[in-house]
Amino acid sequence: MINNKIVTIERHILDSQPDSARGDFTNLLYDIALSAKIIAVKTNRAGLTDVLGRAGSSNIQGEQQQKLDVYADDVIFRMNDHTGRLCAMASEEHEHFLEIPEQFQKGSYVLVFDPLDGSSNIDVNVSIGTIFGIYRTVDYQKRGRLEDFMQPGHKLLAAGYVLYGSSTMLVYTTGQGVHGFTLDLEIGEFLLSHENMRFPETPQYYSTNHAYFDRWSKGTKEYVRWLQNNERFQLSERYIGSLVADFHRNLLRGGVFMYPSERNRPNGKLRLLYEAAPLSYIAEQAGGYGSTGKGSILDVTPDDLHQRVPTYIGNRALVSKAEELLARHDQ
Ligand code: AHM
Ligand code: MG
């Protein structure tokens, strides 16, 4: 609520796009918000579905039980395959990109998404999230092709995430700041709750999986020591192991999240298209920065749908320090 106005996500999407972008693009964003609501309902019943489905393989409505990440993936696909707005989609759950079925019209946008990130956290009732990005197709004349996805993050038109936490939030950017909406369960609407989100000047947290310390490069170890012994910022460590939740907390409180290169995983774990690039775009729009440790994640052109990339993301000053220390120690 801003100035006592109640702003729904639909209203916000419409009002923040120029007239030229109204139509397909705004409707696409709205359909993603609708998918998020459907997934949120199921996510909130995660424990219950298990109980209710235990007698057989189907739940009380007679539906087949599905794993939540498969369910989320399916919802996003079925919401968007027939609308004529997309020319293709790619999901972290699928090896190949998803074509728009022949019987439907194709559109000029490309959707990439991680339907339910951090899904190992579902069974223990820890927050999980959906991440998405939207690009424009490379060639309007053609149906979706791999080239449509091999675009660097700086070509993103929009990116966002949904956090299924103590409340459900959708945060998105179309290049005009980052805005957050909280799902009001009683009326079933996302309402503007966090307008123009920015990383606070003074960060509070750093987030990484310390269990991998021995596998890190000298530069990354030096960086973590710098974070730990920082007299200026006095950082605390927080790591949920659920990227959206870790990123969101750091966006609100200030901080840096990293999933760096490791001895046996030179590109770390996070996927460029579905995780690192969309979140880097959001970070930059919020005054922060996403880096591979060598340069901007948004400058990396993928050569594979599931390419991974070392990731340092959060307050610009903290991320830039990672680049400086990696350059000094990892030559
Ligand atoms: P997923 O896409 O298979 O769910 O994996 C991504 C998740 C992120 O949410 C999180 O940042 C990371 O994996 C945690 O990995 P780890 O358990 O190695 O720390
Ligand atoms: Mg993921």
Residue type at 106 in one-letter notation: K
Q: Does any domain span residue 3?
A: no
Q: What is the pLDDT of residues 128-162, one digit of tens each?
A: 999 999 999 999 888 999 999 999 999 999 999 99
* pLDDT attached to residue 49: 62
90 plus 62 within the same structural domain: yes
Rounded-to-integer distance, Cα 164 and Cα 95, Å: 25
Residue among 67, 113, 117, 246 whose CB has most ligand 1 atoms within 8 A, to mutate: 117
Q: Does any domain span residue 186?
A: yes
Confirm whether pTM is higher than 0.75. yes
- Nearest Cα residue to atom 15 of ligand 1: 241
Residue among 131, 210, 243, 272 whose CB has most ligand 1 atoms within 8 A, to mutate: 243
Rounded-to-integer distance, Cα 233 and Cα 235, Å: 5
* pLDDT attached to residue 57: 47
Q: What is the pLDDT of residues 161-213, one digit of tens each?
A: 999 999 999 999 999 999 999 999 999 999 999 999 999 999 999 999 999 99
Judge contact between 329 and 222, C-beta under 8 A.
yes
Q: Does any domain span residue 163?
A: yes
219 plus 317 within the same structural domain: yes
Residue among 163, 244, 269, 272 whose CB has most ligand 1 atoms within 8 A, to mutate: 269
Judge contact between 154 and 298, C-beta under 8 A.
yes
186 plus 272 within the same structural domain: no
179 plus 220 within the same structural domain: no
Q: Does any domain span residue 308?
A: yes
Q: CB under 6 Å to ligand 1: residues?
A: 92, 114, 117-119, 209, 241-243, 259, 269
* pLDDT attached to residue 24: 86
145 plus 213 within the same structural domain: no
CB within 5 A of ion ligand 2: which residues?
114, 117
Give the CATH number of the domain where residue 84 resides.
Answer: 3.30.540.10
* pLDDT attached to residue 66: 62
Q: Does any domain span residue 27?
A: yes
How would residue 22 be classed by pLDDT, with cut points 50, 70 and 90? low
Q: Who contacts 105 (Cβ-Cβ below 8 Å, separation ≥6)?
A: 84
- Nearest Cα residue to atom 12 of ligand 1: 241
Q: Does any domain span residue 200?
A: no
214 plus 284 within the same structural domain: yes
Is 64's pLDDT higher than 70? no
34 plus 155 within the same structural domain: yes
189 plus 229 within the same structural domain: no
22 plus 144 within the same structural domain: yes
Give the CATH number of the domain where residue 279 resides.
Answer: 3.40.190.80
Atom of ligand 1 nearest to the CA of 244: 9
Enclosing domain of residue 117: 9-194
User: How many angstroms is it from 129 CA to the middle of ligand 2?
Assistant: 9
Domain limit, last residue, from 171, 194, 217: 194
169 plus 44 within the same structural domain: yes
Query: Per the structure, how many domains does the chain have?
Result: 2
Q: b/e map of 84-120 (b: 16 or more CB within 10 Å)?
A: ebbbbbbbbbeeebbebeeeeebbbbbbbbbbbbbbe
Q: Does any domain span residue 4?
A: no
Domain limit, last residue, from 127, 162, 194: 194
86 plus 164 within the same structural domain: yes
211 plus 151 within the same structural domain: no
